Structure 1
Amino acid sequence: MDSHRAAFVAEAEDGITDLNNALLALEADPEDAEAMDDVFRVAHTLKGNAAAMGYEDVSDFGHALEDLLDAVRQGDREVTPELMDLLFEGVDAVEAMVSEIADTGEVSTDPSDLESRLREMEEHGTVGGGEGDESGADDAGGDGEIDGTADADSDAGDPGADEDAESDEADAPDVSVPEPPAAAADLPEPVAYADVTIGEAKMAGVDAALVLQALDEQFDAHATDPDPEALEDGEYDERFDAFVGGTEPAVLAEGLEALTQVESVTAVALDGSADGEAADDAEGTAADATGDAVEETAADAPSDEADDEFDAADPEATGSEGVDGETDDADSEGDETDSGTDDSGPSSGGSDSKSGDEIKSIRVDVDQVDELYGLVEQLVTSRIKLRREIEGTDAESDALDELDKLASSLQDTAMDMRLIPFSQVSDSFPRLVRDISRDLDKRIDFEIEGDDVELDRTILTEMRDPLVHVLRNAVDHGIESPEEREAAGKDPTGHVELTAERERDHVIIEVTDDGGGLDPDQLRDKAVDEGVKSREAVEAMEDDEVYDLVFHPGFSTAEEVTDVSGRGVGMDVVRTTARDLDGSVSIESEPGEGSTVRFRLPVTVAIVKVMFVDVGGTEYGIPIKSIAEVARADDIEEVHGDEVVRHEDDLYPVVRLNERLGEVDPGAVEASAAASADETPAADGGVAVDDGTADAPGPDDAGDGGDEAGDPDDAGMLVRIREETRQVALHCDAVLDQEEVVVKPLDGPLSGTPGLSGTAVLGDGDVVAVLDVVSL
């Protein structure tokens, strides 16, 4: 994908999300003027950018969508469920077309039928219904024209146009012309001044570059404040001043007004002698000899040269996109270019004040970030090898210690660059919940908290579909119908909440509903009926264990299959995905009160600290974040024939790794790892295990591994896993050292092997299997 198309797609995707959320706010409160303005602004920007890129189908369809929104904004159409459904359907059509542009660069979707329905809704207030109220249809663009002509053209035959012109003349604002920049002194007479408003735009530099190019092509000469270089860098606050030579205000306003990037224009003659008659004819707005302003709102149509204009713009100059494609405004609060002040001069454009107007962000392709991280991993691996070689010669090097610090800092920076906010995924969920609740005739109050919590891009991408499935279940299975809720003494409107919270090196994501909850007895019966468990097994299970049955493949509590859920697929994939990401998922429920699905996920999957243990002469790794404490295996007891170890008031079953891992071929593990371990671990040994207790021995207390492994009288070591991960204690022969490693997934026949999460290649080239403590 070329850079221009990528920039368009990135902003369009953000705009679609913003439009969905603004429409949701408008639907919740039709009187919310701010929400209406947000809806109209985003739709206008989407349409304008599509026109600039030459995607006429998207632009024309966006024009119809914008006209309907304008009719709502003007009060000519009421916000009804039918209208909102049509608007949401229109947003979905735009999303489909943008997706096609991202994939192929072309639009294959034909939106003409939906476009006709949008026009019909705009003109008649309903679709397929008769003649309805057509008041204001002409003012709202109800003539159905989508050829991109200016609103002034569509008013040409309107008997009320003169009346509108008189109203505009009466309302025309007075404009105080700022001191021109030095470059304006060389402009040919007559000189016109224009106050050009771009509005809020995420590609501010691109929009300004297009306006500047249009000025170059249409007029003899011009000067701007800020200067062109600052404008193309996006260093302006939604508007700028333009001084154009050899033209009249009306002509200047007409030329700028035709650009989709321009939100509004106010033009006057620099000497105050505007041609009022010309302004009347061209703009429908009066400008008299005393310098009354010519003001016009940007036309909705693309110019014939829009595509060439966009191609001429440098997307790298925008400074508006973050590392992972998300876009940010180029200017931060309090760091704006001051334009139109009495102190303007040669330096007022910002070119000589770089310290105050620095570009705060740049756009970097995701693949480049991943490549950088891969190089960091290789650097750290080489550092480990170098240290081991130097230690083998009994030499010491301060330079190597300094290299350790620099490599660690570089590693942390590269990891932070991969982090993106949870909102990148969660912003699309309000629309999802709204659509499902309407399909099921349920009332849902949906809230999101913690959308600023950051996770690794890979984790967030993989977790989107599982979260969608859990939210669908919450609305379909969890929340009851309004009638059932009222009969149970509940509010007829159900509540679903999605929260994300940072907890040390993990993020906890929860989906909570106040619905009917899960009935453990019903789950037991279902498990027996479907052959998942025997009657004896389910009767012996605690309720918390019974809830986990919903993760079994093919298990569903739905009484009937619907389009939303109930096919018995999904929850097993949800658990598998969480485990593949080195995380976990659990369910808590209270019959009649609701349920909570809780995900525990690492902030990043790139690098993890592991403790190496010896099992029958083979080395394995256990993620340190899963370890509660390490102790000698002196206190193992036997209860009902099973080995356990006591910790406070809890019993932890003992899993002997030499028995559980007996069928895993270490040679096969090494072969599987060799294909994918080009770049591997970072290392920083000597990190103590945080066991949370004062007297629990850490790995240093357990020794370095050599003595324990070779002592035939030694009972071995116990690695107790954190309760929230799995209540179990792992028995091994010895505890060795610790390192940070990059865990690579297993390929080939060992892929998906229970108990193994992947492999790590150490600095000396040794391949070590990393254990999955949940599935052991």
Structure 2
Amino acid sequence: MDSHRAAFVAEAEDGITDLNNALLALEADPEDAEAMDDVFRVAHTLKGNAAAMGYEDVSDFGHALEDLLDAVRQGDREVTPELMDLLFEGVDTVEAMVSEIADTGDVSTDPSDLEGRLREMEEHGTVGGGDEDGDTAEGDSGTDAGDADASADDEGADDGDAGADAGEPEEDSGDADDVSVPDLPDAAAALDDPVAYADVTIGETAMAGVDAALVVQALGNQFGEYVTVPDAEALEDGEYDERFDAFVGDADPDVVAEGIGALTQVESIATAGVENGEDGEAGDEDGESTEAGDAAETDDAEATADDDDPDTASDTDDTDDTADGADAEEEDTTEAEDDASDSGSSSDSKSGDEIKSIRVDVDQVDELYGLVEQLVTSRIKLRRELEELNAQSDALDELDKLASSLQDTAMDMRLIPFSQVSDSFPRLVRDISRDLDKRIDFEIEGDDVELDRTILTEMRDPLVHVLRNAVDHGIETPEEREAAGKDPTGHVRLTAERERDHVIIEVADDGGGLDPDQLREKAVDEGVKSREAVDAMEDDEVYDLVFHPGFSTAEEVTDVSGRGVGMDVVRTTARDLDGSVSVESEPGEGTTVRFRLPVTVAIVKVMFVDVGGTEYGIPIKSIAEVARADDVEEVHGDEIVRHEDDLYPVIRLNERLANSGAAAAGSGVGAGGPGQSEAAAGDEAGAATTDDDTASATTDGGVTDEGMLVRIREETRQVALHCDAVLDQEEVVVKPLDGPLSGTPGLSGTAVLGDGDVVAVLDVVSL
């Protein structure tokens, strides 16, 4: 995909998301003028960008959307469910066309049927019937000019501004006696008589270049010959001060006012006739001129003095034919060029100040990140080789700092706000709730929280599954909610919150909740668990049954959910990302699905431990303390260790890993043993801190007869892991497990060391 098409697609996709959310806000409050403005602005931008790129199908269809929105904005059409459904269908069609452009560069979707329905809604207020006031289109003498324009557009009469209401209040066709006509620029000398002058005002806009480009395009489509001051290229670059001059050849001023004034981009327009040739000769050497020329010079002089507009100042430079006039012209032109140069410098400076970010293709970011991973591995290998030679190098220490800084920067570049995914969810919830005849109030909090792009990409589908379940299974119908004494409108809330190096994402609803006894019966009926097993389960454990493959609480299968697929994928995806998912519920009160995900992936600092002759890594971020295993106690048959009046259960890794199959997995990935002598391990363990102010190492030896304990942070999991020895710690590149090893309990991935050894990295949460 070429850069221009890629930029168009990226901006269009952002615009589609914004348009969906703006339409949702308008649907929620039809009187919200700000929401209406947002809808119209985004739709206008989409249409303008498509026209600028030459995608006429998208532009023409966007024009139909924009005309209908304009009818709503002008108060000619009410916001009804039928109208909103049609607008949302239109947005979906635009999204499909943009997707085709992204894939092939061309549009194959034919939107003519929907475009016709949009026009019908604009003209009559409904689809498939007459006018909403009971009048039919045929024979209605009161049909407004906007409807006539729309009809003309359907016949191809007006490619640039069809369907707009020519009687909009902001139009001002002006009167020749009230309009000050500037001198014709040299470029206008070739225009055919009669020449119409138009003073076009765009007004304040965030899209000056796009708005002006669309007006220029309409001039060309409707009239053919025209000249603008500033010229068309400058206008498309936004280089004008809210207004500009246009000279149209072989045109009537009233026709120009009607055609251009109908454009939604035009705030006002004043027109007048001008004789080509006569007005081009503005005056004699003494500065005398015709009345029109005199007025023009006065007007331009005032405009120059008041607005300091170099473009307007230069308009008078072409009027003198005498030597004195030529001198004056040269002087004025020089001043105007100087002003323009100063203005350009100011503009460049301003633009330079405003450019705070650049658009970079994600493949380039991924490539950079891959190179950083290789650099980290090479740095580890180099340090090990120097240690084997008992060599010291200050340059290597400096390389460590530079590589760490580069690594942090590369990882930060991969972080994107949660809103990149969550912005599409309000439309999703809206559509599902309408399909199910439910009322949903959907809220999003924490959409500015940042996560790794890979994590967000992988989590989008699981979140869609959970939201669908919340609306379908969780929220009751309005009648059921009222019978239960609830507000007939259900509430679904999606939140994201940063906790240290993890992000907590929750989907909560205030629906009927999960009945643990019903879940137990379902589990037995479907053969998921035995009666004895479910009776022995706590409610919290019972809720986890929803993640079992094929398990569903739905009474019937719907188009939305209830097929027993999805929630098992949700848990698998979360675990593959080194995260977790859990369910909390209260019957009659609602359900909360909580995800705990790492902010970033791949490069982490780990501590290596020896378990039965095999080396494993434990993420440093999870470790609170390393100590000798000589204070282990047994309470009620379970091993524990005390720390500041808290009891930490002891997990013996050799037993737990063997039982979970992680030991075999660890061996299978090529872990080649501790890689150090016990003496060396003992020397290393004295420095086995976690590089964190809250962590400590309370041992002077890495291996004892009793072994070593690695106490995990309380907020992560209140346990102490028993191992045979603590080795060393390094920053490594962690690769997720693929294939048959994917989802192995207790393992989060593998790390490739500098000497080529592959070490399994433990997941302390799922051990």
Amino acid corresponding to residue 345 of structure 2 in structure 1: S
Q: CA 1:346–1:473 in structure 2 vs 1: closer, same or farther (change >3 Å)?
A: same
Q: What's 2:455 paired with?
A: 459
CA-CA distance at 1:352 after TM superposition? 5.8
Q: What's 2:98 paired with?
A: 98
CA-CA distance at 1:28 after TM superposition? 0.9
Q: What's 2:368 paired with?
A: 372
Amino acid corresponding to residue 519 of structure 1 in structure 2: D
CA-CA distance at 1:581 after TM superposition? 1.0
Q: CA 1:484–1:586 in structure 2 vs 1: closer, same or farther (change >3 Å)?
A: same
Q: CA 1:728–1:421 in structure 2 vs 1: closer, same or farther (change >3 Å)?
A: same
Match of 2:476 among 477, 480, 485: 480
Separation in structure 1 between the aligned mates of residue 446 and residue 168 of structure 2, nearest angstrom: 49
Amino acid corresponding to residue 200 of structure 1 in structure 2: A
Q: CA 1:57–1:275 in structure 2 vs 1: closer, same or farther (change >3 Å)?
A: same
Amino acid corresponding to residue 389 of structure 1 in structure 2: E
Separation in structure 2 between the aligned mates of residue 199 and residue 735 of structure 1, nearest angstrom: 64
Amino acid corresponding to residue 556 of structure 1 in structure 2: S
Q: What's 2:153 paired with?
A: 145
Q: CA 1:211–1:132 in structure 2 vs 1: closer, same or farther (change >3 Å)?
A: closer
Q: What's 2:126 paired with?
A: 126
Match of 2:400 among 401, 404, 410: 404
Verify the 8 A CA contact 1:215 1:222 in the aligned structure 2: no
Verify the 8 A CA contact 2:439 2:488 in the aligned structure 1: yes
Q: What's 2:27 paired with?
A: 27
Separation in structure 1 between the aligned mates of residue 181 and residue 687 of structure 2, nearest angstrom: 69
User: Which string of whole-angstrom CA distances, capped at 9 and with x for unpartnered residues, describes residues 51-77 of structure 1?
Assistant: 333333322322222222222222222
Amino acid corresponding to residue 736 of structure 2 in structure 1: P
Separation in structure 2 between the aligned mates of residue 687 and residue 209 of structure 1, nearest angstrom: 65
Q: Describe how 1:231-310 pairs up with structure 2 within 5 A.
A: 263-264=265-266, 274-275=272-273
CA-CA distance at 1:345 after TM superposition? 0.8
Verify the 8 A CA contact 1:496 1:511 in the aligned structure 2: yes
Verify the 8 A CA contact 2:77 2:125 in the aligned structure 1: yes
Amino acid corresponding to residue 151 of structure 2 in structure 1: D
Q: CA 1:30–1:637 in structure 2 vs 1: closer, same or farther (change >3 Å)?
A: same
SS in structure 2 at match of 1:461: helix
Amino acid corresponding to residue 561 of structure 1 in structure 2: V
User: Which string of whole-angstrom CA distances, capped at 9 and with x for unpartnered residues, describes residues 411-453 of structure 1?
Assistant: 1111111111111111111111111111111111111111111
Compute the RMSD of aligned alpha carbons: 4.5
Q: CA 1:383–1:224 in structure 2 vs 1: closer, same or farther (change >3 Å)?
A: farther
Amino acid corresponding to residue 93 of structure 2 in structure 1: A
User: Which string of whole-angstrom CA distances, capped at 9 and with x for unpartnered residues, describes residues 254-274 of structure 1?
Assistant: 6998899993376779xxxx5
Amino acid corresponding to residue 168 of structure 1 in structure 2: D
Larger helix proportion of the pair: 2
SS in structure 2 at match of 1:604: coil
Q: Within the alignment, does 1:770 sit opposite 2:766 as a pair?
A: no
Separation in structure 1 between the aligned mates of residue 687 and residue 262 of structure 2, nearest angstrom: 61
Q: Higher mean Cα deviation, 112-121 or 658-667?
A: 658-667
Q: CA 1:471–1:198 in structure 2 vs 1: closer, same or farther (change >3 Å)?
A: same
Q: Within the alignment, does 1:740 sit opposite 2:747 as a pair?
A: no
Q: Within the alignment, does 1:760 sit opposite 2:751 as a pair?
A: yes
User: Which string of whole-angstrom CA distances, capped at 9 and with x for unpartnered residues, describes residues 742-763 of structure 1?
Assistant: 2112345534433332211123
Q: What's 1:200 paired with?
A: 206
Verify the 8 A CA contact 1:250 1:267 in the aligned structure 2: no
CA-CA distance at 1:218 after TM superposition? 6.6
SS in structure 2 at match of 1:733: strand
SS in structure 1 at match of 2:116: helix
Q: What's 1:346 paired with?
A: 340
Gaps (5+ residues) in structure 2?
A: 136-141, 190-194, 277-291, 300-334, 673-685
Verify the 8 A CA contact 1:257 1:265 in the aligned structure 2: no
Match of 2:439 among 395, 418, 443: 443
Q: CA 1:56–1:537 in structure 2 vs 1: closer, same or farther (change >3 Å)?
A: same
Q: What's 1:428 paired with?
A: 424
SS in structure 2 at match of 1:670: coil
Separation in structure 2 between the aligned mates of residue 151 and residue 580 of structure 1, nearest angstrom: 53
Identical-residue share of aligned pairs (%): 75
Q: Within the alignment, does 1:552 sit opposite 2:544 as a pair?
A: no
Amino acid corresponding to residue 753 of structure 1 in structure 2: T
Q: What's 1:326 paired with?
A: none
CA-CA distance at 1:548 after TM superposition? 1.4
Q: Describe how 1:329-728 pairs up with structure 2 within 5 A.
A: 345-351=339-345, 354-358=348-352, 359-638=355-634, 643-645=639-641, 648=645, 652=649, 654-657=651-654, 660-661=657-658, 664=664, 668-670=668-670, 688-689=689-690, 698=696, 700-703=697-700, 705=702, 708=703, 711=704, 714-722=705-713, 725-726=716-717, 728=719
Amino acid corresponding to residue 599 of structure 2 in structure 1: V
Separation in structure 2 between the aligned mates of residue 172 and residue 27 of structure 1, nearest angstrom: 44
Verify the 8 A CA contact 1:721 1:730 in the aligned structure 2: yes
Separation in structure 2 between the aligned mates of residue 387 and residue 253 of structure 1, nearest angstrom: 80
User: Which string of whole-angstrom CA distances, capped at 9 and with x for unpartnered residues, describes residues 221-266 of structure 1?
Assistant: 96579x95xx88x787x96665779989989996998899993376
User: Which string of whole-angstrom CA distances, capped at 9 and with x for unpartnered residues, describes residues 659-699 of structure 1?
Assistant: 62475165630399xxxxxxxxxxxx978438997xxx73x
Separation in structure 2 between the aligned mates of residue 412 and residue 253 of structure 1, nearest angstrom: 62
Q: What's 1:53 paired with?
A: 53
CA-CA distance at 1:78 after TM superposition? 1.2
Amino acid corresponding to residue 451 of structure 1 in structure 2: D
Q: Higher mean Cα deviation, 46-55 or 555-564?
A: 46-55
Q: Higher mean Cα deviation, 616-625 or 209-218?
A: 209-218
Q: Higher mean Cα deviation, 208-217 or 587-596?
A: 208-217
Q: CA 1:565–1:650 in structure 2 vs 1: closer, same or farther (change >3 Å)?
A: farther
Verify the 8 A CA contact 2:650 2:722 in the aligned structure 1: no
Q: What's 1:37 paired with?
A: 37
Amino acid corresponding to residue 145 of structure 1 in structure 2: D
User: Which string of whole-angstrom CA distances, capped at 9 and with x for unpartnered residues, describes residues 163-191 of structure 1?
Assistant: 8899734699999999x9xxx99977799
Q: What's 2:18 paired with?
A: 18
Separation in structure 2 between the aligned mates of residue 650 and residue 177 of structure 1, nearest angstrom: 89
Verify the 8 A CA contact 2:468 2:561 in the aligned structure 1: yes
Q: CA 1:724–1:251 in structure 2 vs 1: closer, same or farther (change >3 Å)?
A: farther
Structure label with greater radius of gyration: 2
Q: Within the alignment, does 1:77 sit opposite 2:77 as a pair?
A: yes
Q: CA 1:692–1:495 in structure 2 vs 1: closer, same or farther (change >3 Å)?
A: farther
Q: What's 1:62 paired with?
A: 62
SS in structure 1 at match of 2:357: coil
SS in structure 2 at match of 1:350: helix
TM score, norm. by length of structure 2: 0.77
Amino acid corresponding to residue 27 of structure 2 in structure 1: E
Match of 1:168 among 145, 168, 172: 172
Verify the 8 A CA contact 1:498 1:512 in the aligned structure 2: yes
Separation in structure 1 between the aligned mates of residue 265 and residue 386 of structure 2, nearest angstrom: 66
Separation in structure 1 between the aligned mates of residue 168 and residue 666 of structure 2, nearest angstrom: 84
Amino acid corresponding to residue 765 of structure 1 in structure 2: G
Separation in structure 2 between the aligned mates of residue 447 and residue 2 of structure 1, nearest angstrom: 38
Separation in structure 1 between the aligned mates of residue 211 and residue 102 of structure 2, nearest angstrom: 21
CA-CA distance at 1:638 after TM superposition? 4.9
Gaps (5+ residues) in structure 1?
A: 279-287, 294-340, 673-684
Amino acid corresponding to residue 719 of structure 1 in structure 2: V
Verify the 8 A CA contact 1:198 1:262 in the aligned structure 2: no
TM score, norm. by length of structure 1: 0.76
Separation in structure 1 between the aligned mates of residue 606 and residue 247 of structure 2, nearest angstrom: 70
CA-CA distance at 1:492 after TM superposition? 1.4
Verify the 8 A CA contact 1:501 1:507 in the aligned structure 2: yes
Amino acid corresponding to residue 732 of structure 1 in structure 2: C
CA-CA distance at 1:614 after TM superposition? 0.8
Separation in structure 2 between the aligned mates of residue 252 and residue 345 of structure 1, nearest angstrom: 35
SS in structure 2 at match of 1:533: coil
Amino acid corresponding to residue 146 of structure 2 in structure 1: D
Verify the 8 A CA contact 1:758 1:770 in the aligned structure 2: yes
